[in-house]
Structure 1
Amino acid sequence: MTGKPMLADEDRRRIAQIAETADKLLKETVRLRGDVTRLQGRIEPFKNEVLVKVQEHEHQVPRTLKDAFEMLSMSRQYILDCEHHLSAIRGHIDSIASDAISREEMKPWLK
């Protein structure tokens, strides 16, 4: 026999489970990125500030363990991007909260 060794059914099942979990995680992180982008768009940008554009993700079903790991890596990067953008949003909100004029107008929204 030549070529790749055969995988046991249990190994195939585990790989399929990892791929399915990676796929679900990636879909959720893509949704999270969209939510963060919409939230950031609701805050008026400061002068010369550019709002972040989220690149579209073309969904592909993972076919191999390597594909699943790549999806997990992409998900990790998307989560890090969200953390960065949420930090920037928090900075905007803190700035609004410390401005006397904006503070009165925004009081109902800031908690």
Structure 2
Amino acid sequence: MSLIDEATFRRESDRALESLKQSLIEAEDDSGSFEFEDNNGVMNVIFENGSSKFVVTPNTPVRQVWISAQATSFKLEWNEASSAFTLSKTGEALKPLMQRLLREHLGDPEITLL
């Protein structure tokens, strides 16, 4: 893993998170089983029963995008080869990982993040 410079991190994380945000807004409309909120760059996915939420946030000092979900912290790092933030343990990129977590949490294999 090579640590990218802050300007590159900000540009790429902004791009990745904006894309994720648009996908979550679309999925929110389709599923109705969660609500999406964006509070100054901290994204919250709040589930209808109110008992849990996922939080997605950029962590500039360590150049990672963090997802807090299912009592776990997923720390995604920039992967130059795939030009995406990926989870080193599984190789999953941001959107596919978030899609998997939503499907698992809601028990709904139909949830798709485009």
Structure 2 length-normalised TM: 0.40
By relative contact order (CA 8 Å, sep 6+), the higher-ranking structure is 1
Specify which structure has the higher proportion of strand.
2
Specify which structure has the higher proportion of helix.
1
